A and B are shown apart, each in its own frame.
Chain A
Amino acid sequence: MRALLLTVALLAPLPAFAQDASRGREIAENGAGDIAPCASCHGMDGRGVGAAQFPRLDGQHPSYLLKQLNDYAGEARRNEIMTPIAQALSEADRQAVAAWYGAQRFGEATTDPRPSELGERLVMQGDQSRGLQACVNCHGPEAAGLPPLFPRISGQHAEYAQAQFQAWREGARRNDVAGVMREISGRLSEAESAEISAYLEGLRSR
């Protein structure tokens, strides 16, 4: 029991994000030291570039974004572009960047809705035969995120989402809550995760 309590006491509190994200804006626009500006891939408004698997960051909660940066800096999430960037940023700068992009209101969807019976079923309802639950159980209504920790996945670039399924499957990404995304991804075929990704990208939400 003592060990348990100790574990709990060591958990970092969630950071309080400053209202003023000016330092984050500075890094996003001009970079920091040798680090390229975030905007060169993600845009100042965080819209990203689908074809290059640069994710949309707009509409994400700053806590989620900060966790990703911290995980890139550590071992839980590996990416050849993001890992060195996150490692080069100070803790305070990671917070500042998360605060900037976390303050970007979710923009319009970048694609038209893509009807996919399979994608919609897996996102909204799940699949009993394989023990797959609906994505919206954790990712919130219309998969628009359940703040502060479960990211918005609706409207996300399909190419990025598909790459994440791959990363979960292969273990390049291991920063999920209790291993749930690795579990789920491992049970989805590539074709299925592509359907989900396409459906999510076109899913209209608030």
Chain B
Amino acid sequence: MSRLDRRGLFRGVAGFGAATALPAAAQPAPQATPPVAAPAAPPAGSVAAWRAGSREVQPVSSWRFLNAPEAAFLDAAVDRIIPPDDQWPGARWAGVVRYIDQSLAGAHGQGARFYAAGPWAPGLPTQGYQLPLNPAQLYRTSLTAILREAEARQLDFARAAPAAQDAFLRAIEAGEVDCGGFRSDVFFETFLANTIEGFLSDPEYGGNRDMVGWRMIGFPGAHAAYLPLYTHHGMKYDEEPLPMGETARHQHTPGQGHGRPQGESRRG
């Protein structure tokens, strides 16, 4: 049985580091609550500014790993995985591609904590990821094939309509693109996990701009000590989240802005 066939047999695809995939099906989306009025002059780059209409995306002056076509594809793709909505910016605004780029250029992408000795065999889903590619190599190999496939389909992915983008992503998810001996679902699972990481990890890692992911769910971040607060069962906790690093924080002004900045609503 060829590697391609073998991998295609199983639904539980092992992407690199992608261990938390959940079953998919259709379910009506919950109603979004209407946006809250924004303050007069929210700080640039904040979720509040985004809500006030700013669509400015933090520019990346130089990619560390990705090339331009890869970056353009991912930039559009992440915003379909976590799209913007009335309430919250999406993954593109959050800097998820910068997170992925830094991750691939860094130790993780280059194979840290990855057992990379052969011989190589396809294995069973229960044995996990078995490709000889580290994350950076997996992205490069897969994206080369995926961009070629888009070209063959005459799809300008970055400029395509959302429905066309989604259709192509679903094809990648289903493993329909041959990445050169393995199917594109391996890449997709890795990419999906990385996109979620970039949206929900500490801003120190390049994504989760203005802690948008944390604000969205009501996670208070890195600085934490909840004794005896945790015994106040069911309390509504809406303090401003705090990241590890100083640079990522903006305009937290105790005394005036306890909790969310004015104009922001937390879903928690």
Contact = CB atoms under 8 A, between A and B. Distances in A.
In-complex A–B contact (CB below 8 Å):
yes
Interface of A: 8, 11, 13-14, 58-62, 102-106, 137-138, 140-142, 144-150, 152, 177-178, 206
Interface string B201-230: 000000000000000000000011101110
Given A138-B225, A140-B242, A150-B225, A58 B255 contact: yes
Contacts of B232: 11, 13-14
A140 B254 CA distance: 12
Given A8-B233, A149-B229, A106 B255 contact: yes
Contacts of A62: 258
A177 B254 contact: no
Q: From B239, B249, B258, name the one whose CB has the most chain A CB atoms within 10 angstroms.
A: B258
Contact of B253 (A146, A177, A178, A206): A206
B126 interface: no
A27 to B, nearest CB: 17
23 contacts: A11-B228, A11-B231, A13-B232, A14-B235, A59-B255, A60-B254, A61-B254, A61-B258, A62-B258, A103-B256, A104-B255, A105-B256, A106-B253, A140-B242, A141-B242, A144-B254, A146-B224, A146-B225, A147-B240, A149-B229, A152-B254, A177-B227, A178-B228
A176 to B, nearest CB: 11
Contacts of A149: 228-229
A149 B228 CA distance: 9
Contacts of A150: 225
A12 B262 CA distance: 27
Contact of B255 (A11, A60, A178): A60
Contacts, number: 63
| Interface of chain A, main secondary structure | loop
Contacts of A148: 229, 239, 258
Contacts of A141: 223, 242, 246, 249
A59 B231 contact: no
Please report whether the interface of chain B is mostly helix, strand, loop or mixed according to DSSP: loop
B80 interface: no
Interface residues of B, number: 21
A62 B223 CA distance: 19
Contacts of A59: 254-255
Contacts of B253: 105-106, 206
Q: Identify which of A144, A147, A149 gathers the most chain B CB atoms within 10 Å of its CB.
A: A147
B258 A147 contact: yes
Contacts of A61: 254-255, 258
Interface string B230-248: 0111010001101000100
Contacts of B239: 147-148
B218 to A, nearest CB: 15
B255 A102 contact: yes
Contact of B225 (A8, A105, A137, A206): A137
B252 interface: yes
